[in-house]
Structure 1
Amino acid sequence: MRRAFTLLEVVVALGILSLIGAITFETIGSALDTRDVLEEEDQSNQSARVALDRLRRDLRLAYLTANTSAVNTYRTEFIGKNNDPDSLWFTTLSHHRMYRESRECDQTEVTYWTEDDPTMDGAKVLLRREAPRIDQEPEKDGLISPLAYHLKEVNFRFINPKTNEWLEEWDTTGGETPNALPRAVQIALVFLVADADDPEKLVERPYATTVLLHYADKLTTEVSSSDSTTTEDNN
């Protein structure tokens, strides 16, 4: 004869099912949090690669015109400001024509700067402006595109080919470096990403590289490889 479940047995069974459900829910939640953190890490790596690659292409072909006094000539500049975060403005030969028959040249004026990140409080977004007309007005006209979000720091350093010293700022309009390009530019980006152990906490992820400028003067004397030619990419 089949015996019905007692009330105690039903309560115990429900308790076991509830415990299994709670453990399963917690496991799934933890797995989803880990997945989100890993996806954010991948997004950070991808953003760093895109931003650094774009900066490399622009900086390698940075140039200055030798004669700025002739009639109908334009003034080219290379200016890096030690802001918080830093900004950069220069002329380069990296412009890519989208259409073969378009009346464009490879000369362009680019600006890199940051603004508040609309997707994360306290973070910055790295912006790039490209203007086909070189007019010494880095905040006017041109196409603006975001390169990287969730940034805490953007830093540039410049090596002086005459003194072999790293400088925090560069200005071709006067000072120590009139009408001269830095031999190399060091780029450092610091991203904010969720901590793998505590997704509610943000941690820093640094990425860095050093770019040699093709049209810059060579260094006057040999410098240590750790300062001038080492490339440190965490991507």
Structure 2
Amino acid sequence: MKQPFTFKENGFTLLEVLLSMAIFSIIALTTIKQITLIRNTKDTAFRDIDGYSNARAALSAIEIDLRQAFHVLYQDLGAGSRAILLQNGTVTHTLFDGRKAEIIFTSLSHRNYFAGRRESEQTEISFFLQQTRQSKYSTLLKREAELIDDNPYEGGSSYTLLENIISLEFQYLDPKTLKWEDAWNSDGGSFRDKFPGAVKIKLVVASEKAKPLNVETEFKLSFPNNDPFLVQF
């Protein structure tokens, strides 16, 4: 005798439902992790780009001022200035004093943005690092004094160029030996009344999550008091 035909209702068992939910959760969690990783990588890349751009801008500012550095030889001083110098040793003092992590020089890079203010393009400039209490890193500062006097190491005002500096290093190319020097002073010694043929600057900037940013530049100085030379980079 034939059995009557009946419809059998098939459904998911509890085990199948739990297994499906587990697979879905794994897929969702993996997707979220990938999205988070991509977003973090993107944020880190943008921070590094910003940090690199800021470091390059700071080096560019130093280069602009250094390219306009100038010095007045004793024989080029006016009769009045020479008389003052011989009498008491105080006179407008131009120089190029380059050190390992600091540089002081006189430049023609000053810009007067105020109408009616009597200022020339001559200025005293120094770049140096200063440690801050709020951070374990240093701050790159620029000091500028619009009036060149007998003490180019003091006076004027300072402002921040870049923060979170790990190290700053200057080197100076001797145009005669073509060797990089760690110090250069136009006030005396074999470098008296001379400027380096070129300057090299190395800057290491701290980054939040990535490795420190290393930025470097080197450029020639055109100084008429130097003997003619040709430097190949």
Scaled by the length of structure 2, the TM-score of the pair is: 0.77
For residue 215 of structure 1, the aligned residue among 200, 214, 223 is 223
Q: Pick which of 26-35 and 128-137 moved more.
A: 128-137
Q: Is the 8 A contact 1:184 1:212 kept in 2?
A: yes
1:73 aligns to what SS in structure 2? Answer: coil
**1:14/1:118 Cα in 2 relative to 1: closer, same or farther (>3 Å)?**
farther
Q: Whole-Å Cα distance in 2 between the matches of residues 98 and 117 of structure 1?
A: 31
Q: Of 39, 47, 58, which aligns to 2:54? A: 47
| CA distance in structure 2 between the partners assigned to 1:5 and 1:23 by the alignment | 26
Write the distance in 2 (CA, Å) between the matches of 1:97 and 1:148.
23
Stretches of structure 2 that go unaligned for 5 or more consecutive residues are: 1-7, 85-89
Q: Out of 58, 79, 99, which is 2:97 matched to?
A: 79
Percent identity at matched positions?
29
1:233 corresponding residue in structure 2: none
CA–CA distance in 2 between the matches of 1:217 and 1:166? 19
Provide the C-alpha distance between the structure 1 equivalents of 2:83 and 2:119, rounded to a whole number of angstroms. 23
Q: Any stretches of 5+ residues in structure 1 without a counterpart?
A: 231-235
Match of 1:188 among 180, 184, 202: 202
For 1:29, which of 29, 36, 47 is the aligned residue?
A: 36
1:61 deviates by 0.7
Matches within 5 A, 1:138-217: 138-142=153-157, 144-193=158-207, 199=209, 202-217=210-225
* Superposition RMSD in Å: 2.8
SS in structure 2 at match of 1:203: coil
The aligned counterpart of 2:5 is none
Work out the CA distance in 1 between the residues paired with 2:202 and 2:83. 38
The one-letter code matched in structure 2 to 1:69 is R
SS of residue paired to 1:54: helix
Change (3 A) 1:15 1:219: farther
Which residue in the other structure is 1:62 paired with? 69
Residue 131 of structure 1: aligned partner? 145
Residue-by-residue CA offset, 1:54-76 (whole Å, 9 max, x unaligned): 11110111011223634373111
Amino acid at match of 2:70: Y
Pair 1:10–1:177, CA change in 2 (3 A): same
The separation in 2 between residues aligned to 1:149 and 1:20, in whole angstroms, is 43
Q: Distance in 1 between matches of 2:142 and 2:212?
A: 23
Residue identity opposite 2:163 in structure 1: Y
Q: How far apart, in 1, do the equivalents of 2:24 and 2:217 lie?
A: 55
In the alignment, residue 26 of structure 1 is paired with which amino acid?
A: K
Distance in 1 (CA, whole Å) between partners of 2:51 and 2:134 is 14
Aligned length, in residue pairs: 214
Question: Structure 2: how far apart are the matches of 1:213 and 1:153?
Answer: 23
After TM superposition, the structure 1 stretch with the greater mean CA deviation from structure 2, 57-66 or 98-107, is 98-107
Matched position secondary structure for 2:190: coil
